Each structure stands twice: as C-alpha cells, then as structure tokens.
Amino acid sequence: MNAVFTCSVDDGHPADLKTATLLDKHGLAATFYIPINNREGSPVMGAKQLRQLGKGFEIGSHTRDHRYLKNISARDAYDQVMDGKKALEDMLGHGVSGFCYPGGKFSRRDEKLVEACGFGYARTTANLCFSKGKAAYRMPTTVQFFPHEASAYLRGYVETGGWHARQDGLRIALQHQDWTDRLFAMFDHACEHGGVFHLWMHSEEIDELGLWKQLDGFFAYVSARLEDGASLTNLQLSQLG
C-alpha cells in the first residue's frame, strides 16, 4: 500500500532555510508556516528570505504575531489572522491558502475566522494520526520531530480527544522509548497501511538541540521508501479526495 508524506515547519525562524536545504536534497515537499513577528522573541525571516523559500515550498500563515487565538478576543483574533495573511501575501506577491494555529490553541470561533479570511485549510498540532482528517480547518499531524518522552504522547492523547483515530499512533508511541525508533516505526506503519505520515517541527529547536544529522538521516529514509509523487505539501494533501 502507498503512503503519503507531508511535512510542516512552524514559526519562520531563519534556520528554516537549512531545513529547506535538507528537504530539497531528498526531493521532499513541505509547508512552512510563517508569522510576521514572533512575540516570544525568536527571529523571523524577512521578505527576501521568504521569497527565496517560496520558490520551492508552500508558504502558509501563522498569524501576524504568533498569538494563541483561543486566548484573545474575537476582534484581536480576526486582526491576527487577516493581517498576517495580507502581510505575508504582500511579501510573497501571491495568495496564501494555508494557516496553522500557533501552539495548537484555537476554538470553533477561530476556525470560522480562518475560513472567513479566505484560507482554504488550517493545520493543528493534534498528533498520532495517519490521515488528513475529516475537517478542512482541523488538519492533524502524525508526530513532531522532537525528543519527547513516550509519556508525553499518552498525556496528549487523553487531552486532545479523537481517540479512535489516534489509537494506532498511541500504541506505536508507547512501544518505543527511543524517540528516533518511534519516528521510524510510525513512518513504517504509514507505509504498511497506506496512510498519511505528517511530520512537523520547529527548525529553531533542531538547531538548538543539534539534530540536523538525525533529520537528514530520516529524510533519506523517507525518500527511499516513498513512491514517486507521494510527497505533498499540506495544501496538496488538503485537496486529496
């Protein structure tokens, strides 16, 4: 059975250009979600870098200032979503279809706002899934490229819900104490069952933790196992029937 691979990179840190180089090296597609500013203090790429990145990858929005929408008023949330989209489109010179909720913090109100602002889909941080999900503005993921303890997946499973669709992912996560073994096992499961493997990450964390070699190795493994045309952007995944 054929697997589909997609990759999301959040926050627009300048180290995204290094992630992009590795993705390009292995012929893999990805979507980069960019805030215009990051109120948490991390640097964000400017227009020139974003245009360079956009030549090879999908660029999506991540609000204007990396605000958690669920925690702010409806008016402020609207401004964050709409202003972020407009500013990003002005820098890139073309429309932006994808949106990612900062911190995965959003409500039904925010889903409606994202849709009303003209986005075609939105991605969450819900994990342990092997499909694109059933709702256009709640796209889930499979696993984050980060050395989480196995217990973190159990906590997230309980807190996030959607348990039936995530039970295979949880089972695999708990079977492997080493985070890289867990990563490979989840991708193998997607390959064996014809599912979606959605990897997401923050380039800043990869840089801080010195995980570039591991990322390069995993991308090489993915590229070797995938069939032609099976690596998609998040937008392409959202449009699959």
Q: What percent of the chain has pLDDT over 70?
A: 100
Mapping DSSP to helix (H, G, I), strand (E, B) and coil, where does residue 115 land? Answer: helix
User: pLDDT for 104-140, tens place per residue?
Assistant: 999 999 999 999 999 999 999 999 999 999 999 999 9
Residues with Cβ within 8 Å of residue 188, at least 6 apart in sequence: none
Q: How far apart are alpha carbons 152 and 168 in whole angstroms?
A: 16
Mapping DSSP to helix (H, G, I), strand (E, B) and coil, where does residue 31 land? Answer: strand
The length of the chain in residues reads 241
The interaxial angle of helices 179-193 and 163-175, nearest 10 deg, is: 130
Specify the CATH superfamily of domain 4-238. Glycoside hydrolase/deacetylase (3.20.20.370)
Q: How far apart are alpha carbons 126 and 163 in whole angstroms?
A: 11
Q: How far apart are alpha carbons 187 and 4 in whole angstroms?
A: 10
DSSP tally for the chain: helices H, then strands E: 10, 8
pTM above 0.85, yes or no: yes
Grade residue 159 by pLDDT with cuts at 50, 70 and 90: confident
Q: How far apart are alpha carbons 188 and 78 in whole angstroms?
A: 40
Grade residue 222 by pLDDT with cuts at 50, 70 and 90: very high
Residues with Cβ within 8 Å of residue 18, at least 6 apart in sequence: 203, 207, 212
**CB 11 within 8 Å of CB 38:** yes
Q: What is the pLDDT of residue 1?
A: 62
**φ, ψ for residue 95, nearest 5 deg:** -70, 160
Could you give the dihedral angle defined by the CA atoms of residues 45, 49, 55 and 60, in that order, rounded to the nearest 10 degrees? 10
